[in-house]
Amino acid sequence: SHPPLCPPGIKCGGVLSAPSGNFSSPNFPGLYPYETECTWLIVVAEGSSVLLSFSHFELEYHDDCAYDYLQVYNGAARDRGNLLGTFCGHSPPPPFSSAWHVMAVVFRSDRHVAKHGFAAAYRKDACGGQLTGLSGEITSPRYPESYPNDAECRWSIGGASGGGPLTLVFADFQMEGGQGCGFDYVALFDGPTITAPRLGRYCGSARPPRTISSTPHLLIVFKSDFNIGGRGFKAHFYSAGECQEVFTTIKGNFSSPQYPNFYPNNLKCQWSIQLPPGYRIKVFFLDMELEGRSSLTGGCDYDHLSAFDGGTENGSLLGRWCGRENLAPVTSRSNQLLLVLHTDRNTAKRGFSISYVGVVPMNVSCTRTDFHIQIPVQSLAQLKRNRIYLGTPSCAAQVVGRNFKIHTRFDTCGTESQRRNNTSVIVSTLYIDFSMGDQEDIHQYEVQCEPKRKEASVTLIAGPDPSRLSQAENLVDAQQWEGEAMDAQEIKSQDTSDIVFISICILAGLLMVIAVVGLVLL
């Protein structure tokens, strides 16, 4: 017989605010109804966590749990950044401990195949627990009120699928001090138990440093003695696998954790790009969707991505972004760039995908007839001179002292004349071949000269797509000019070689006229 569809009066979901309790799927231990969705929100006292366990579990099975499923969330339901897991079939979920005082459980059934469902129990845990999410927050008991005496709590973090090393950051810290931290303290261990190597032991009012484990497990032990307390601590953790990276290669790409799936909440991730002196870094935003702007302030107050010039957050801010935007490329002023992603406690999105390329330091100048290009050898130390050429491989660089140099006339090396903004310019492409083995990697720069003004510029071409040339940003601070009409200044800027050349032409013309007249008269 078919189980009934969920009648309006059946108990399904709700808010559970008692210190402990039980709940189960509709009709349990009978078959659950079709096309049912229930959400239980478990809320315990601030500063506590929720311990959740399952005594019975039997749902329709599917490899991806696409039919009937149960989901467990850290915090409010339906926020994928807080999802601890999706479960179906006969294997019960593991016991869960929330990373703060709210946990949500969602049960859904489709229109086919019903099973007996599940039975679960929860209780408030004053402190400690097994935390399996990719990110979360922990606080001392009763935080921010004074913590109790004679307390001992253990938080074991780790075991999340795909989790890497863990980062722990203390946002607040105030405990009883004392030499050797013998009274009240927080101890950190690089593994799931106290037998693992100790990463630190802290007390007093100085915030402990950011700590990164070497394994996917971290144990935090809090202990207080019989007297003198403090406010305690507040810390957040996240899996640092895709969240703390340093890049030193000439180009690369990276994305927010779990991209293109929703990123975890409560993150602070840093990507540092460090290239040799003289280089600058150009960043391309391939895709970005973060939580949107605040409706109150209009600013990126929630989740946001920031870029800083240099290696630290003390550097000048190049930009701060959120929401869903198509962003223009950003270029650093120095050889180091830091990107920082902050996410808050809720509303996760798809995240971002970024690529970058190092802008090779070079000096490009021109005369009326020639290009001069100069690149320090140390910037391309691993390359032979034939890997650097203008237009065609036959126009390769020479090594002169400490520089690669290309000195070539406009009528060679694939150079062509174009009109841009009503101005005649000479254009060619500089190729720098970083390819290794089967991996082709050729960077292209457009070099341009306005012969009349003897002004040169160079632009990094973003990929092989020529339509992106128009969006490419000029990387040499060349003097700007308006090419609408030749004004008096422009005429004045012509050098004396023009006047000499015109004078010779006029004189030659006069001589020809005299010669022709002379022949006629003869």
With H, G, I as helix, E, B as strand and everything else as coil, classify residue 467: helix
Residues 53/121, Cβ–Cβ less than 8 Å: yes
Residues 397 and 446 in one domain: yes
What is residue 496's predicted lDDT score, i.e. its pLDDT? 39
Q: Which band of pLDDT confidence, cut at 50, 70 and 90, is reported for residue 492?
A: very low
| 509 domain residue, yes or no | no
Has residue 59 got a pLDDT over 90? yes
| 215 domain residue, yes or no | yes
- As a whole number of Å, the end-to-end CA separation of the chain is 126
| 449 domain residue, yes or no | yes
Q: Which of 47, 86, 40 is nearest to 65 (CA)?
A: 86
Distance between CA atoms of residues 487 and 83, nearest Å:
66
Residues 36/12, Cβ–Cβ less than 8 Å: yes
Please name every residue paired with 430 in a beta bridge, in sequence order, or none if there are none. Answer: 390, 445
CATH number at residue 376: 2.60.40
Structural domain boundaries, residue 30? 13-125
CATH number at residue 305: 2.60.120.290
87 — phi, psi (to 5°)? -135, 150
Distance between CA atoms of residues 450 and 415, nearest Å:
13
Residues 41/16, Cβ–Cβ less than 8 Å: yes
Residues 334/366, Cβ–Cβ less than 8 Å: no
| 196 domain residue, yes or no | yes
| 520 domain residue, yes or no | no
What is residue 41's predicted lDDT score, i.e. its pLDDT? 93
Has residue 186 got a pLDDT over 90? yes
Residues 210/167, Cβ–Cβ less than 8 Å: yes
Can you give the three-state secondary structure of 19-76, one letter per residue?
CEEEEECCCCCCCCCCCCEEEEEEECCCCCEEEEEEEEEECCCCCCCCCCEEEEEECC
pLDDT single digits (tens) 420-459: 888 899 999 999 998 888 888 899 999 999 998 999 999 8
From residue 440, how far is each of 277, 410, 434 by CA, in Å? 25, 28, 8
How many other CB atoms are found less than 10 A from the CB of residue 309? 19
Q: Which of 50, 27, 49 is nearest to 38 (CA)?
A: 27
pLDDT single digits (tens) 157-176: 886 655 678 888 888 999 99
